[in-house]
Structure 1
Amino acid sequence: MTLETVPAHAPLELEHFLPYRLSILSNTVSQSIASEYQDRFELSMTEWRVMTILARFPEISAREVVDRSAMDKVAVSRAVARLVNAGRVDRGIHDGDKRRSVLQLSEAGWAIHDEVAPLARAHERDLLARLDEGEQAQLNSILDKLLAL
């Protein structure tokens, strides 16, 4: 049976439902990496993601973090507040405009980033090692197409 021939009232077969499978894969991969930094730095997955975005795109607003990550606005706001309170992120003013704050990693934030990022890259290498070069290229191509939605 193809997607076109499945009756509308049929229950979803989650084990074959793409959004579910992608979610499971994402959660499994993210959690395996998260275990490396959660205990060691008391850092949540959302906090780490915010930090990685700020490392790549310094001096952006929390709203821009949300836009770049597709994470929940409230979750990002809470993560930013915790990171600022912990001294891992500095909040400043954008070019003297007091209405717009910008975020950047603090020295302490960079120190954590520089310890965790190599661990994350190693996890990525281990995961991708299960695929040959052609499969890795296909995966990247497919992900690019799906992320362009």
Structure 2
Amino acid sequence: MAEEHHPDHAPLELENFLPYRLSILSNAVSQAIADDYQRRFDLSMTEWRVMAVLARFEGLSAREVAERTLMDKVAVSRALAKLVETGWVTRATHDGDKRRSVLGLSEAGWAIHEVVAPMAREHERNLLSRLDEEERTWLVRILDKLQAMEPK
């Protein structure tokens, strides 16, 4: 007689597993946008995300950038090191406190942002054009609801 298996112990059907599907979709969408700016500016996805966050919220610390993006602190630190080295991000001290850096886009960083941000918006428009208005409204509602969930 075959053993009965609890459904939680069956192989995970990744193609139907929501976190996996969201991750695959996110990676595909992000990579489609990233291909353009990587080719043009030798800018990684992590570096662009850091720049985008600093464009939106200037004066953050590296820790705050990592918190806002939910990216690994080491990856953010590496991205920031390259962005500072290339001159696209500035690093200053916060009110003379050498323990806290304040980050922002440099003039050169803003110039790159002004090229990449419209490219990202165009990719977003193309993606959302596959949905009708009601579907777009529901997508935003669903994403907002899922993002508001407290992690366990």
Q: What is the number of residues matched between the two proteins? A: 144
Q: Which amino acid aligns with 1:27?
A: N
**1:110 Cα deviation after fit:** 0.4
Aligned counterparts of 1:145 and 1:66: Cα–Cα separation in 2: 22
Identity of aligned residues (%): 72
Alignment-derived partner of residue 3 in structure 1: none
Alignment-derived partner of residue 139 in structure 2: 139
RMSD: 0.8
Alignment-derived partner of residue 32 in structure 1: 32
Alignment-derived partner of residue 15 in structure 2: 15
Q: Deviations over 1:10-60 (max 9, x none)?
A: 000000000000000000000000011001000000000000000000011
Structure 2 regions of 5+ residues with no counterpart?
Answer: 1-5
**1:96 Cα deviation after fit:** 1.8
Structure 1 regions of 5+ residues with no counterpart?
Answer: 1-5
Aligned counterparts of 2:98 and 2:15: Cα–Cα separation in 1: 50
TM superposition score normalised by structure 2 = 0.93
Aligned counterparts of 2:30 and 2:8: Cα–Cα separation in 1: 33
Aligned counterparts of 1:8 and 1:18: Cα–Cα separation in 2: 15
Alignment-derived partner of residue 57 in structure 2: 57
Aligned counterparts of 1:123 and 1:35: Cα–Cα separation in 2: 11
Q: Deviations over 1:98-146 (max 9, x none)?
A: 2111100011100000001000000000000000111001000000011
TM superposition score normalised by structure 1 = 0.95
**1:9 Cα deviation after fit:** 1.4
Q: Which amino acid aligns with 2:58?
A: P
Aligned counterparts of 1:17 and 1:36: Cα–Cα separation in 2: 30
Aligned counterparts of 1:8 and 1:60: Cα–Cα separation in 2: 42
Aligned counterparts of 1:8 and 1:15: Cα–Cα separation in 2: 16
Larger of the two Rg values belongs to structure: 2
Aligned counterparts of 1:98 and 1:8: Cα–Cα separation in 2: 51
